[in-house]
Amino acid sequence: MRRVWKQRITFLPELTVFSRPWLNVSQPAVSQHIAVLRKAGLLTERKMGRSTLYRVDTRALAPLVDWIARQDRFWRSAMRRLDDKLKEINE
């Protein structure tokens, strides 16, 4: 649910909790998801009258993106070395 919601709001500059019909979930459920995303540092908020507008802050994902890139480099290198070793054995 949060992944679908995050994908949807990534394309929207701001989102108010009142624009939730496309979520097909209750207001309390939306509030719970917002709380989790805020705690993870993925949302910033701005009060506008009685509404709260939320904006995705993907900077919080930078450490995860960096870790994934390091893992990708490691495994690609390891698989190349394994492939080279298997070719050497089969010769």
Summarize pLDDT for 25-57 with one digit per residue, the tens. Answer: 777 887 888 888 888 888 888 887 877 788 888
* Banded pLDDT at 74 (limits 50, 70, 90): very high
Q: pTM to 2 decimals?
A: 0.50
From CA 13, how far away is CA 36, in angstroms rounded?
19
Spatial contact of 51 and 19, defined as CB atoms under 8 Å apart: no
* Helix, strand or coil, per DSSP, at residue 55: strand
From CA 40, how far away is CA 63, in angstroms rounded?
12
The predicted pLDDT at position 13 comes to 53
The predicted pLDDT at position 88 comes to 94
